[in-house]
């Protein structure tokens, strides 16, 4: 069996590319990297990689992670700047015994020293949006925070699974702010004998619940990916609503080791799936009644 599931419609082309590779016997890791790099490289997607919206200081700081479900190896970067493909750096870091999670200037230095492609990640368009927002916030006393569409991907190829994430984080975040995306358990988790999960939404709230790991553990206990996502996401979203009056946005995707998949979300959410038995498809998900999720296909390519 092979399969790939990814957060947000922006991953449609990446999932298509990954599915072509998986069909031809590519490894789960190679397919994952293809899918995420496609999103990172597209300047139209303003929450990931090149073209990502900058922090409060006008700098694009990116977070990414890679996990191997056979060995549990994790590689991650947070607050990296100028690295063209943070997911590639994270994947390389997952092969390190020590120092496999690097942040800030240390992460950027590692990418440079290991000959990863470096470039200024701030596009003219993103810089303009930042300037406008700075003015708006000054004038209207708005909350500056907006946008947090992480690309998160789970792939399956035969007996092997991987997962990964990449994001430029919250628009207008404080310098050095890290969300859930590079944090094992919160932003992502995978065990090839069980399945994997990834998150997108408000990182500050997602890490309160360690939701990706929680979903994998529910699948380990025998729940389907859809049951696992529904149980974990709606239960925890309700706990946050009790504690804070409301929960931040949280959308989770999961795939098990047989290619079954599921999602749950407390906001409108798009995602993409392809498996040996399912042509690449974009879906729309919304929270339904009684802790369920309403899912409909919106495109087939």
Q: Which residues bind its own copies (CB under 8 A)?
A: 70-74, 78-79, 96-107, 109-110, 145, 170, 173-179, 183-186, 189, 203-204, 207-210, 213-214, 217, 239-240, 243-244
User: Between 186 and 275, whose beta carbon lies closer to its own copies?
Assistant: 186
- Nearest-approach distance from CB 272 to its own copies, in angstroms: 26
Q: How far apart are CB 289 and its own copies at their closest, in Å?
A: 25
Cβ–Cβ under 8 Å, residues 39 and 151: yes
Select which of 7, 108, 150, 167 is catalytic. 150
The neighbour count for residue 143, using CB atoms within 10 Å, is 8
Beta-sheet pairing, 188-191 with 160-167: unpaired
Q: Is 88 helix (H, G, I), strand (E, B) or coil?
A: helix
User: How far is residue 214 CA from its own chain's centroid?
Assistant: 16
Residue 25: left (phi > 0), alpha (psi -120 to 50), or beta?
A: left
Residue 33 CB, nearest approach to its own copies (Å): 20
Identity of the residue, 95 or 299, whose beta carbon is nearer to its own copies in the bound complex: 95
The least CB distance from residue 147 to its own copies, in Å, is 12
State yes or no: is 150 an active-site residue: yes
CB–CB of 253/6 below 8 Å? Answer: yes
User: Residue 23 or 239: which CB sits closer to its own copies?
Assistant: 239
Residue 96 or residue 268: which is nearer to its own copies going by CB? 96
* Other beta carbons less than 10 A from residue 178's beta carbon: 21
The residues assigned a catalytic role are: 150
């Amino acid at each position: 069996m092979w399969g790939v599931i990814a957060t947000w419609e922006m991953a449609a082309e990446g999932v298509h590319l990954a599915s072509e590779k998986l069909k031809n016997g590519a490894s789960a890791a190679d397919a994952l990297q293809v899918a995420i790099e496609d999103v990172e490289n597209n300047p139209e997607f303003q929450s990931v990689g090149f073209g990502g919206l900058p922090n409060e200081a006008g700098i694009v700081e990116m977070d990414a992670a890679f996990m191997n479900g056979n060995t549990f190896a994790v590689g991650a970067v947070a607050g990296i700047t100028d690295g063209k493909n943070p997911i590639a750096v994270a994947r390389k870091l997952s092969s390190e015994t020590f120092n496999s999670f690097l942040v800030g200037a240390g992460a950027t230095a590692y990418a440079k020293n290991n000959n990863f492609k470096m470039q200024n990640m701030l596009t003219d368009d993103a810089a303009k949006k930042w300037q406008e927002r700075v003015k708006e916030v000054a004038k209207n006393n708005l909350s500056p925070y907006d946008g947090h569409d992480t690309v998160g991907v789970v792939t399956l190829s035969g007996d092997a699974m991987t997962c990964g994430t990449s994001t430029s984080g919250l628009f207008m975040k404080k310098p050095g702010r890290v969300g859930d995306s590079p944090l094992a358990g919160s932003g992502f988790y995978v065990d090839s004998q069980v399945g994997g999960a990834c998150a997108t939404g408000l990182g500050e709230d997602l890490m309160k619940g360690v939701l990706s790991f929680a979903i994998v553990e529910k699948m380990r206990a025998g729940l389907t990916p859809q049951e696992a996502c529904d149980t974990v996401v709606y239960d925890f979203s309700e706990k946050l609503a009790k504690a804070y009056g409301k929960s931040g946005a949280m959308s989770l995707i999961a795939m098990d080791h047989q290619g079954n998949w599921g999602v749950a979300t407390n906001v409108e959410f798009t995602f993409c799936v392809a498996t040996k038995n399912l042509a690449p498809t974009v879906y729309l998900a919304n929270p339904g009644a009684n802790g369920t999720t309403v899912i409909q296909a919106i495109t087939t390519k």
